[in-house]
Structure 1
């Protein structure tokens, strides 16, 4: 017995040292090539691509460009349609030059305003363009909006949404527009834009599902124009407006490729995403190049795909590169992705690249949105993982956990883990000046280096790193074990230690120690994970106290009891039959054969019923050691072996080796240890609620 234990101790000590040595990572050297990014960017922002507006020939050329590069890299398609996912959407076409003139009642010219200088045509849910000739009416009394008696029929209304009387209505701008058009019968809405900009903004909203037959003309103006129009209104002048724009339904596509992980198509997904469309052509024929929005991001994704496609060893996670279409007309590409459930929402982590253009001084914004009252702050933990990686690459950054802008916010609102990397400081975004020459390529390459290192680090399941986090917290307990081991087996022949040796020989010291080590290790793992999730910090930054151990132990007892009750109800008959059969066979079989058959049968029966309430979709809330796809088979098998080891050691230490005693002890240990490990997650309130309606977790 003593010689066997000494032989077992050496591999254990070697493993502990190994996990500690390999737990710390070194900064990674990037393979990002700026020249490749520049080449892609120059192509995608060239006049040939006509600004990449969804549904246009230029946008189709972008899809073909990306698709051809995916094929050249030998990358795998992700959908049954190939690299593309088709969907319906809406785009627009300028058919001439917008006109906004002030005229006298007899049609005589008075004044003229220029689009993108003195006014901006607003593309939203209701604004349709068209022609108007008629008088103006300035709304000052909120009651005029609520009357609804067609008092503005065939008129252009001037309104300041920010005026105090209007604010008292507690209506959104869109709700006011709805009342003015459908109840007041106004044809044109001209509003004071307190943050007037000549940048083109488009959000077609409901037009993406149905283009209305008619609509109003909506125009935003700066203060000086608004003031002049008020004067013209008081003097009885009219307006002559023509907005030559049409909207039409189109077919378009998102584009994806996947680098399969070890368990593809199962397992986790790390999604690197951006938008691929742009604002297209202006009414004067000028191209919106869209270099920062988001030509640089597309180019970086192509470069990352090139680098990672040459990796010989697959990641543990599946790596999905996604190009979403339609950002500039209402984010229909992202909406389609969410509707089609391209990946299980709980199993995907989205990193969205947006506006990768820096002036050189602005730090990279690493951002997400964490609801203040949410209990689980996994999204915040992801921020800290990205920040730690950025530190390793010497990248200047700022963290923001209250950021809810851009397309990435659609994923967060859907309850998915999503973050965005952005500089968002390029004044040329939304203008024809957003060219490739305005992009700081070194900053784009920095983001690439960050992502390459992050994917390499967190796309792999680092067993040594995960275990080392636990070992570092229970180092004191390992020292205690070594001392006990030496006292029990190292001083057995020493004179003067007879009483101590007698006590150690007659008590199950090491088997008891192993059980304590197991429970403390599992509790440590669970506490680290719980603190990391609720505080949104990394495992290495968690602090464990005796109070937290007692609290987690009590929590585990309350979750273990219902799991034991469930397993007891469904397994009592099959495990009872196994027990009876093997007790009968114990007298006829070799001891080793008996143990093997008992262990194998127990494992098969237990896993059958355990898998009935174990759902891989919900493992996102599990500690990483328990969450890899299919890991429950390995973990529970290891617990079974551990139970056999403790049972064998207990029998040797107490010199009680009857088949009945050892069988009962083994079954008891195996079931208790397994339920103690998994019950806080299998029977977590949010999982039970989701399972009851076959729903999903919102993170």
Structure 2
């Protein structure tokens, strides 16, 4: 409790030289408090919001809450008058069909087609001949494909194993690597399709069935559209042992018999089978609601207001879980705390503008969706910017500022800063000076490098600005035992420190929005100086 009292109110401003402080900046920071933080976070991280998973009800509720608050502040909706920037999210389900000699096999029981191997255009094929190629091996001393041309053919192979060897203990990673090598060879050899005899289909787990039958959510980014519209490659179909034996029955044999033949002879048992096989896969796409929430504060200087500072945080989290008594991943710290920080910083600047003390440059307050899915919302904005990226002077990104980690267990008066000197020496100096002049938090830079094994520089929304050459600062309190767990609840939030870290973002934003010059980009993405 004692450390909380040390951070409350405005004691934090006492003892610093007044010459370094802007009194208007201090005046309008007074709404960035632990009480206001609790007001927002107690809503956003409540069970009612169901963990705010992208594309689900809880995320829509959070987006509506943020929009309503931005509107109440008098911020402008910059997306054709609206506060929502729709992100192109869709679910894809796969209709899959496999028939053997005219008899339909049952999907998710007798076979399944990995959805990621099917393009948006789908596929279909019919053949009267398939090639059984044993273990699908092509190595020195043993070659299942010797003398064979697989181009345009449907090939049947065993998923794993070696000729004559007893089944080894399951090693999923090794099996996957080996299978990928087989599929790569067949694809490069221009096979039409491969049927993989997969023991995992024989006794399919409930989790695998659920995964295979669920609708997959994706964002239609430029990269994903190009990938899905690429020419269809080789189709992969995983089949059960029983399904494989139905195919092999036309030749009067079976999987076990062929394995024994290979083991006894030490030679491949590759052979063509006369059997009618047809298959098709069709993707069904459904639009899903998802949006970034934007609130815009226009700058006061006629010349500088075209330049935009962006303040970001992601409002989504990972939703509900099916195990345990507590089903809600509340995401109080990740990233309810950062979203709360954005809202409080926005309120402070909105009050400053109403009092005639608004920033010279414009500020875009943006809470993004889909961060937990792969930085989707910020990627979408970077591909579809509302304000030109060349006019964007910096991004201050807040992702987890409500807790601490084990390395700061005895003193939570810290925040990790990441990226501040990666592209701009100016931004680094401005951020550190704002901290020294106003807040005096311990700025921990241990993760501030591109070779950090945790890769934090690449794991939050600032990176989608940095990759376009826009300077960034990522504010972060580190991971804790409740990271991505139902235990990430408001009861564990250090609200005074949440407010203090948000104040640091606010004062840094104040200096950036009112400075004589925008921070110069003097480094390349790889950290080398610009010439």
TM (norm. structure 1) is 0.44
Please point out which of 399, 412, 429 is paired with 1:384. Answer: 429
Are residues 1:321 and 2:321 paired? no
Question: What's the counterpart of residue 515 of structure 1?
Answer: none
1:379, 1:419 within 8 Å by CA — same for their partners in 2? no
CA distances 1:99-139 after superposition (whole Å, capped 9, x unpaired): xxxxxxxxxxxxxxxxxxxxxxxx99679xxxxxxxxxxx9
Equivalent position of 2:501 in the other structure? 447
Q: CA deviation at 1:26?
A: 6.4
Q: Measure how far apart 1:409 and its partner are.
A: 1.9
Identify, as 1 or 2, the structure richer in helix: 1
The answer on whether the counterparts of 1:366 and 1:386 sit within 8 Å (CA) in structure 2 is no
Look up the match of 1:352.
397
Paired position in structure 1 for 2:418: 367
Q: Are 1:398 and 2:436 an aligned pair?
A: no
1:336 is aligned to 2:380: yes
Structure 1 residues 126 and 266, CA gap change in structure 2 (3 angstroms): farther
Residue 366 of structure 1 contacts residue 397 of structure 1 at CA under 8 Å; is this kept in 2? yes
The CA deviation at 1:51 is 1.3
Cα pair 1:154 1:185 within 8 Å, conserved = no
Judged with a 3 Å threshold, the aligned counterparts in structure 2 of structure 1 residues 151 and 40 are, in CA distance, closer, same or farther, namely same
Q: Is the Cα contact below 8 Å between 2:338 and 2:399 reproduced in 1?
A: yes
Q: Using the TM superposition, give the Cα deviation of residue 250 of structure 1 relative to its aligned residue in structure 2, in angstroms.
A: 0.6
Report deviation, 1:166: 5.4
Match of residue 489 from structure 2 = 435
Alpha-carbon distance in 2 for matches of 1:175, 1:383? 46
8 A Cα contact 2:397 2:475, kept in partner: yes
- Three-state SS of the structure 2 residue aligned to 1:427 is coil
Does the residue aligned with 1:58 lie in a helix, a strand or coil? helix
Matches within 5 A, 1:171-570: 183=194, 185=196, 249-261=287-299, 262-263=301-302, 266-284=305-323, 286-311=327-352, 312-348=356-392, 349-356=394-401, 357-359=403-405, 361=409, 363-368=414-419, 378-392=423-437, 393-399=439-445, 400-402=448-450, 403-462=457-516, 533=522
Would the alpha carbon gap of residues 207 and 254 (structure 1) be closer, same or farther in structure 2, given more than 3 Å must change? closer
Partner of 1:309: helix, strand, or coil?
helix
For structure 2, which runs of at least 5 residues remain unmatched after alignment? 1-16, 94-113, 119-134, 162-166, 202-214, 239-283, 451-456
| Structure having greater relative contact order (Cα 8 Å, sep ≥ 6) | 2
Which whole-Å CA distance do the structure 2 matches of 1:92 and 1:426 have between them? 34
How far residue 39 of structure 1 moved from its aligned partner, in angstroms, is 1.6
Question: Are the aligned partners of 1:91 and 1:329 in contact in 2 as well (CA < 8 Å)?
Answer: no
TM-score (ref. length: structure 2)? 0.57
After superposition, the Cα gap between the structure-2 partners of 1:314 and 1:321, relative to the gap in structure 1 and judged at 3 Å, is same
The 2-side partners of 1:247 and 1:186 are apart by: 29
Shift of 1:383: 2.7
How far apart in 1 are the matches of 2:375 and 2:143?
31
Conservation of the 8 A alpha-carbon contact between 1:367 and 1:383: no
Given that 1:125 and 1:207 are in contact with CA atoms closer than 8 Å, whether structure 2 keeps it comes out as no
In 2: Cα distance, 1:255 partner to 1:145 partner? 57
Return the offset for 1:339. Answer: 1.8
Verify the 8 A CA contact 2:194 2:237 in the aligned structure 1: no
SS class of match (1:365): strand
Check conservation: 2:342, 2:365, Cα contact below 8 A.
yes
Q: Where does residue 39 of structure 2 map in the other structure?
A: 39
Question: 1:187 Cα shift?
Answer: 5.8
Shift of 1:215: 8.8
> RMSD of the alignment, in Å?
5.0
- CA separation of 1:188 and 1:534: change in aligned 2, threshold 3 A: same
| SS of structure 2 residue aligned to 1:258 | strand
SS at match of 1:270: strand
Given the superposition, is the C-alpha separation of residues 382 and 141 from structure 1 closer, same or farther in structure 2, using an over 3 Å criterion? farther
Higher strand share: 2
Following TM superposition, by how much is the alpha carbon of 1:83 offset from its aligned partner in structure 2, in angstroms?
Answer: 0.6
Q: Which residue of 2 aligns with 1:50?
A: 50
For 1:655-697, what per-residue CA distance to the aligned partner results, in whole angstroms no more than 9, with x for missing partners? xxxxxxxxxxxxxxxxxxxxxxxxxxxxx99xxxxxxxxxxxx
Alignment partner of 1:79 is 2:79 = yes
- Largest Rg, 1 or 2: 1
String of CA shifts for 1:166-210, please: whole Å, max 9, x gaps.
59x9x99x989x99x9756366889xxxxxxxxxxx996678757
Matched residue SS, 1:64: helix
CA separation in 1, counterparts of 2:426 and 2:184?
Answer: 38
Number of residue pairs matched? 366
In the aligned structure 1, how far is the partner of 2:386 from the partner of 2:144? 44
The answer on whether the counterparts of 2:219 and 2:376 sit within 8 Å (CA) in structure 1 is: no
> Compared with structure 1, are the counterparts of its residues 44 and 398 closer, same or farther at alpha carbon in structure 2 (3 Å cutoff)?
same
- Match of residue 151 from structure 1: 157
Distance 1:146 1:346 in 2: 57
The offset of 1:394, in angstroms, is: 1.1
**Do the aligned partners of residues 84 and 427 (structure 1) sit closer, same or farther apart at CA in structure 2, a change above 3 Å counting?**
same
Inter-CA distance 205–253: structure 2 relative to 1 (3 Å threshold): closer
